[in-house]
Structure 1
């Protein structure tokens, strides 16, 4: 099997996230990430979060998990303080999150079959987390939020896909949404990355805060 895009799931998740994120007065990144996770029918969604971080993206991912087949959403937090803040914030909008407390690089190795992953580029360990993640054998979409941060300056997706790795970088794109989104589609080695080659699609994202329209092709 491979990741297959569904515009219908993406649209539903986007709309639901717009409605929910009005509560926390944040928008843009959350809606886009939610639509992507749902659109790719990500069965296992993982994110990293630390105390004081924006919660809208997490809400978007939780919503996306409800629009996928058997969706599971897990958040890795560094300590109990982060866990408490995260759980309280997510529960306010009606979700019961699955949370793992511990070092992200260690915790992610115990999670198998990740389809969609979001990490925060503000954390120095974000590249290591991506590199150590056990991805689904049908491939995965990896997202770095806050990609304009100093810690992300020298990051390259090729560092996540080393020679001899059972991964293959199919495509990547940087979107000027929020503080920057760096997104990559990583396929399992040997998989057919371009079934229906030549039939790429254009996608449009409207930043709810600035009104800017971003168009990109997959």
Structure 2
């Protein structure tokens, strides 16, 4: 079973986000991301928020998660960032989602397979977050915010996900500071090779004698 796009869910999430964020000066990227999160109808949504960033994306993802029934987790860099995030969310009357604080690898190891993931391009552990994320066998939609900023010029999805996933398509949407979107599927060849026991026993039959010879490969 793979991720299936639902226009109805996308529209519901988009409309509710527009209504909720109507007082924000710039919320186009939040509205688009919310519609995408709702439309793909994922089981699990991750956001990695960066201190000083706008809060509209979180509001939109919360709305999308509510419509789809998805689990939504926001990853924060430290306790200071956590306090800042909670204050910003509560200021705008949005519910605080499930929060996790810590290093990228340590946090991601405690989380299940992700199907929709948004990472702020301002995070120092940007590449690490995507690299260590466990991607769903149904496929995953990955988004990196800030795609048009100078420091993001060399960002490439194939370098981020490596051999564990196959990049199906990608696009940069010029909303906000740019959103780089990658749709990936599991790389079955990689999964088979990584799970193979290389210290295996190999059997060979001597055609002349009929004897069976067993040795370690």
Q: Which residue of 2 aligns with 1:100?
A: 100
CA distance in 2, matches of 1:61, 1:41: 12
Q: Which runs of 5+ in 2 are unaligned?
A: 190-217
Please say if residues 77 and 104 of structure 1, whose CA atoms lie closer than 8 Å, have aligned partners that are also in contact: no
**CA positional deviation for 1:190:** 4.1
Provide the rounded CA distance (Å) in 1 between the counterparts of 2:79 and 2:116: 24
1:176 to 163, 174, 177: 174
TM-score, with normalisation over the residues of structure 2?
0.81
* SS in structure 2 at match of 1:134: coil
Aligned pair count? 188
Tell me the equivalent position of 2:82: 83
CA deviation profile, 1:78-131 (whole Å, cap 9, x unmatched): 111211121222234231311111123431232111110001112232122111
Rg (Cα) greater in structure: 2
What pairs with 1:125-204 in structure 2 (closer than 5 Å)? Answer: 125-163=125-163, 165=164, 167-190=165-188
Distance 1:121 1:59 in 2: 18
Alpha carbon RMSD of aligned pairs, Å? 1.6
In the alignment, the residues of structure 1 paired with residue 9 and residue 131 of structure 2 have an alpha-carbon distance, to the nearest angstrom, of 28
Q: Contact 2:130–2:161 (CA<8 Å) still a contact in 1?
A: no
Task: Provide the TM-score with structure 1 as the length reference.
Answer: 0.81
Larger helix proportion of the pair: 2
Alignment-derived partner of residue 72 in structure 1: 71
Residues of 2 paired with 1:150 and 1:103: CA distance?
25
Structure 1 pair 25–114 and aligned structure 2 pair: CA distance change class (3 A) = same
Structure 1: 5+ residue stretches without partners: 192-218
